[in-house]
Amino acid sequence: MKKFAFAKVAATSSLLLLASACGGGGGESTGDGEVPAELTVWIMGDSQPNIVEYFDEAEGAWQESYPDSGINVEFIAWPDVQTTLTNALAGGDSPDVIEIGNDQGANWASQGALVDITEAVDGWDEAADLDQNALEFAAYDGATYGIPWYSGVRTLYYRSDWLRDLGVEAPTTWDELTDVAEKINKEHDVPGFCAPTDFTNGIASFIWGNGGEIAVQNGDQWEAKLTDPAAKEAIEFYAGLSADDTVSPSSALGANENDGCLNDMANGNLGMYIDGSWARGAWEGVAEDPAVLDNIDTTVLPGADGPAPAFAGGSNLSVWSTTENPEAATELLQLLAGKEWGDKFAETAGFFPAYPELLTQDKYTSDPLKKAGAEQMQSTQFFPATPNWNSADQDQKILPKVVLEIAQGGDVDDVLAKYNEQLQETLNKPVE
């Protein structure tokens, strides 16, 4: 197996360089479509050994067609993504191919950071088998700027031994969720369900699970829907869970699922919470008694009257606008995001493939912690497909603030009216 050398890169982010030892790096592209000696790929997250091995093998597949070309992979820590990409757009170090969170694509495309790959995708056979909603979410202003690489959904995790002893099934409705949470609290004297307020994905599922919407597009304008009856009922219900410390831990107020719920679940101090398929690895890092983890199972998200949709998270692969090798970069992107290597990455990283037909594979349906996720992948929705969603969610945290203020006693109608107006103004700001 090829060896990888790691080195710090001089930048404002904590970028890790995964330098190919036999890829023939350092060659110059002619700019005429020829494949260069090296293509750089930026990946978000840490350089985990299994991910390094994936790219080692993917480079071998690339070199079957282009033996004199290598792949240089750089890992960017998630907290540094915004700064690093902004610097790249301003003329700093930049990649050929880049992983972009699927809810970030429109933002970067609107800034001219990504290459329009519509023609290449239209002529690519495997595009027809991708999740078409995810592919559409990778578009901006009528053009395609990315290919879905993997998907991730959240499901409801619960203590299967506790529910079994209580003689109840995993909840699939809000009433059942409340009932089971109360029974867990009464029997085990711990919160039955964790409802963190800084949790847009979870809040959104409650809205969608009641038939509500966050915002809808009418022509060129976005109309915020937080004050609509369905959304209002869902937000008020979720905030009520957050405010009740017999249902949800007080530490979840103002917190996300990682800070407010995960540790308690891993250590037997919580009955249920919402998280993704990647949670198992995080539990293992904090569990004082690993045996607890064997009693955690998962099911699809509960809605008002039945299973609720989840946000289809995940990442796209895109071509960065300053690449000198757009044709080769697009071809590498198609290799990595194709069925074979897209599925391999999803399995390696603990996510799901972006191809619905692959979700029926035994490796997803036979694993208890993956089975519910594979089922949940059949019921997904997306956030408003506008670059301004990043401002509404990441910068202003509109949904988290709505829930927190209501949970802390704010008037429901006043809070919703205020933030509904803010959301609508934000989503309709001109995109420069």
Please check whether the two domains, 4-152+313-369 and 154-311+388-427, share a CATH topology: yes
Give the three-state DSSP class for 8: strand
As a residue count, the chain comes to: 432
Q: Report the candidate in 417, 25, 7 with the shortest Cα–Cα distance to residue 232.
A: 417
**Domain-wise residue ranges, the chain:** 4-152+313-369, 154-311+388-427
Domain 154-311+388-427 has CATH 3.40.190.10: yes
Indicate the pTM of the whole model: 0.85
Torsion, Cα of 422, 424, 425, 427 (10° steps):
120
Q: What is the pLDDT of residue 33?
A: 59
Q: What is the pLDDT of residue 300?
A: 97
> Amino acid letter at 307?
P
Q: What is the pLDDT of residue 278?
A: 84
Q: Report the candidate in 74, 152, 98 with the shortest Cα–Cα distance to residue 350.
A: 152
* Run of H or E residues at 145: none
Q: What is the pLDDT of residue 367?
A: 85
- Do 254 and 197 touch, CB atoms closer than 8 A? yes
Q: What is the pLDDT of residue 5?
A: 28
Q: What is the pLDDT of residue 22?
A: 33
Q: What is the pLDDT of residue 277?
A: 84
Close Cβ partners of 93 (under 8 Å, ≥ 6 residues apart): 9, 11, 15, 87
Give the three-state DSSP class for 57: helix
**d(C-alpha 87, C-alpha 417), whole Å:** 37
Q: What is the pLDDT of residue 78?
A: 84
Of 3.40.190.10, 3.40.718.10, 3.10.150.10, 3.30.70.20, which CATH number belongs to 4-152+313-369? 3.40.190.10
Beta-carbon count within 10 A of 3 CB: 9
Q: Report the candidate in 117, 104, 81 with the shortest Cα–Cα distance to residue 386.
A: 104
List per-residue pLDDT tens for the chain, 432 residues long. 232 323 223 233 333 333 333 333 333 333 445 899 999 999 998 888 999 999 999 999 999 999 999 999 999 998 899 899 999 999 989 999 999 999 999 999 999 999 999 999 999 999 999 999 999 999 999 999 999 999 999 999 999 999 999 999 999 999 999 999 999 999 999 999 999 999 999 999 999 999 999 999 999 999 999 999 999 999 999 999 999 999 999 999 999 999 999 999 999 999 999 999 888 889 999 999 999 999 999 999 999 999 999 999 999 999 999 999 999 999 999 999 999 999 999 999 889 999 999 999 999 988 887 899 999 999 999 999 999 999 999 999 999 999 999 999 999 999 999 999 999 999 999 987
Q: At what angle do helices 412-427 and 398-407 cross, to 10 degrees?
A: 170
